[in-house]
Amino acid sequence: MALTDRKVMTFDVVGTLIDFETGILDYVQGRARAAGVSLADAVILEAYARAEDRQHHETPRLPFPSMMAPMYREMAELLGLPGSHADAEAFRLSIPRWPAFPDSIAALKRLRRRFHLVAMTNSDNWALSHFARTLDLPFDDMVTAEMVGWNKPDPQVFAFTRGRLSMEGFAFGDIIHVAQSQYHDIAVSCRLGYHTCWIERRKGKPGAGATPTVEDVAIPDYHFASLGELADAVEQGK
């Protein structure tokens, strides 16, 4: 099937459309400079990934913004940074400043000409409202972990979204899921039988950055390095 044979694109947001690694680094490097601590970007991102993996296992029903304060405290202890309640809360409150990837807004506008666009995110409603505005309000519908009561990679997030889409007349085969994270999205969407598109934002970069690692890389139906490449492929009828 061609990409254009589908009618719906569901999107992971953080890491796929929103450059959360830049947002994390902007905050943590600022705290490091203030504390006179020198840290490599890769060390900060790896610390975030470890803290997130732990929180996902300990609190799998909690939207990720609610995890960020305990994650920051864990990171601060590991990295030698100030870890006060105010520092941890300020880390969560940095979310509205996280930028979109340079290609996200234009690519989403192009994709919306052909597809029903749905955000499907581990964010809460508050964070997604900010991300949607940063992305110039591209979504026809939005699903958050706060609404579902679970985080991806739990299949209940996909089932909840599929139920909403079925009420609008869309079939399972109409959907393609678009995401960056193998850990949160690609492996589970492939396992559930979804048409899946991997946006490998870290293609060519060492390591997994701020995303927890997986033992085996799932093979998606489509694989691009950017959202712009996906939009190009759609317009070329691939």
CB–CB of 49/211 below 8 Å?
A: yes
Helical residues (DSSP H) of the chain, grouped into ranges: 20-35, 41-58, 64-79, 85-93, 104-112, 125-134, 145-148, 155-167, 187-191, 227-235
End-to-end CA distance of the chain: 9
Pairing verdict, β 141-144 and 222-224: unpaired
* Residue of 5, 12, 103, 232 marked catalytic: 12
Per DSSP, the residues of 113-172 read TTSEEEEEESS-HHHHHHHHHHTTS--SEEEEHHHHSS-TTSHHHHHHHHHHHHHTT--G
Q: Cα separation of 38 and 29, whole Å?
A: 8
Q: Is 12 annotated as catalytic? A: yes
The region that residue 8 occupies, defined by phi over 0 for left and psi between -120 and 50 for alpha, beta otherwise, is beta
Residues annotated as catalytic (active site), given as ranges:
12
